[in-house]
Amino acid sequence: MATYVNNLRLTELATGEGSGSWGTTTNSNLEFIGEALGFGTQNCFASNANSTTTVADGASDPARSFYFKVTSGATLSTTRVLTIAPNTLNRVMFIENATTGSQTITIKQGSGATVNIASGAVKAVYLDGAGSGAAVADALVDLDLTGTTTMAALNTSGAITSSGVITGTTVEATATTSAGDNAAIGYTSANGLMITGQGSTNDVTIQNDAAADVIEIPTGTVKAVIAGLVEIESGNISIKNGGTRSTVKFYCESNNAHYAQVQAPAHSAFSGNVTLTLPASTDTLAGIAATQTLTNKTLTTPVLTTPIANAGIQLKNGATGAGFLQFFEDSDNGANKVTLIGPAATADITLTLPSSAGSNGQFLKTDGNGVLSFAAAGGLYNDWAIKTGAYTMVSGDQIIVNASGGTTITLPASSAAGATVTIKATGGGTVTIGRNSQKINSVAGDGTLQSGKATQLVFVDSTIGFLEL
């Protein structure tokens, strides 16, 4: 009985078999051997799905060809698998992916490894014929071209075309590039390495390993752009931001241990573009927050916001008047001011301010030596005041609470011994006397004053607090 267990699926006659036809069988086998050394093409994907092609036993079949061109009757929409059967074939093949749809095809034999062939590409593969676990391998993946490899003319222009990565120790250019080059590396003795290109956006683009642009030369310009943020052109350097304000760091001379940074203002601070002009002579720039001494500087009509002066400030006199200090009202009120002006004195005078803010209704008095202090005006008590809602008292207050509902009157805080207040309740409402963290009649609790009642409280000390008289 004839068998077909060889790698080309040729007819193998048993002893005594094929009488009268063995010559025909032998001639066919010779033709199939020739077929296995030649070129064949086959529509392996009649539909947009995975497919299997089986080399015919003892019959002509394009899949037997050494160079096998795979086409498709359908347009492939994704990577499709082509299984070459039977899985016992052990052979080398060149396979071309000529399918439509621009999709990769995967060459498979059994459950083992596979090889992907991109659309329009050709790969040399070998099938190991290991049966159900058969694998397909890329026959040229580790091709070693040791020695001198001469390629006089690849394509018609003498170019080497690769869809993958060309890796080598050194690629050396020996001639200059041309203005019309799409992307070229060249060399001249004067310029050394040259890179020339042309594109719709950039002529030259250098990217990092994340495919992000690092250096760009925009098309038709003499400008270099670094990381899309730094532009160098015709003596100008532009540093653009990446979401934060742009900076320039200047490092010290010792191992780059420290730097001084120049930083752009915040966007909200701009009203337009600004230019800072450096001094025309060697100098040191003054900083806003730095502690520096300005010598022999004249400030003409300066605007000083919350200035701090150490030791003192001298307001010098003019040619016809004494020194003065002016306090302006809020700008939303107008432009009026209060002016303090020195007298036409014949001797120096010193006035020393008190160490507290004083109390409501007090005034400044002097001890005759220029030391000022606060004193009560008009006696121990303030004028009577009418209150209809919550109120915090000051020492000397006399108030009438005229409210129909409950009202809280709070005692003065941090009172001194002898401080006194007087409260009269009327109008029908009950008055709560808030102790303001102090005791009332030696008790740490608020007091209550019914409508129609009155009380006078005098602060004694922290133990008694306010004592009711």
Give pLDDT tens digits for 191-217: 888 888 888 899 888 889 888 888 888
44's enclosing H/E stretch is strand 39-45
* pLDDT one-digit tens code per residue, 406-417: 999 999 987 788
Instruction: Name the least confident of 12-26, 72-86, 125-139.
Output: 12-26
Distance in angstroms (rounded) separating the CA atoms of residues 112 and 131: 10
Residue recorded with tokens 């102090």: 438
Greater confidence, 316 or 162?
316
Q: What pLDDT, on a 0 to 100 scale, did the predictor assign at position 156?
A: 44
Q: What is the pLDDT of residues 1-31, one digit of tens each?
A: 788 888 888 888 888 887 888 888 889 889 9
pLDDT of residue 155: 45
Which whole-number Å values give the CA distances from 413 to 154, 297, 355, 398, 400, in the listed order?
Answer: 99, 48, 18, 16, 20
Asked whether the predicted pLDDT for residue 453 surpasses 80, the reply is: yes
Determine the pLDDT at residue 15: 81
Per-chain mean pLDDT for the chain: 87
How many residues are present in the chain? 469
Q: In the predicted model, is pLDDT for residue 378 greater than 60?
A: no
Mean pLDDT, residues 343-372 taken together: 79
pLDDT of residue 94: 97
Average pLDDT of the residues in 368-390:
79
Strand pairing report for 420-426 and 447-449: unpaired
Choice among 95-104, 122-131, 170-179 with the minimum mean pLDDT: 170-179
pLDDT confidence bin for 225, thresholds 50/70/90: confident
- Average pLDDT of the residues in 270-295: 84
Average pLDDT over residues 92-112: 97
- The structure's pTM equals 0.41
User: What is the structure's pLDDT at 163?
Assistant: 63
Distance CA 374, CA 372 (A): 7
Mean pLDDT of 54-80: 94
Question: What pLDDT is attached to residue 53?
Answer: 96
Q: Closest by alpha carbon to 359, among 369, 348, 374?
A: 374
Give the pLDDT of residue 390. Answer: 95
CB 55 within 8 A of CB 86: yes
**Which of the two residues, 144 and 451, has the higher pLDDT score?**
451
Q: Which two tokens stand for residue 166?
A: 């060309």
> pLDDT grade, residue 400 (50/70/90)?
very high
Ramachandran angles phi, psi of 13, nearest 5° = -80, 140
Instruction: Tell whether the model's pLDDT for residue 162 goes beyond 90.
Output: no
Q: Tell me the percentage of the chain whose pLDDT exceeds 90.
A: 41
> Which carries the bigger pLDDT value, residue 297 or residue 450?
450
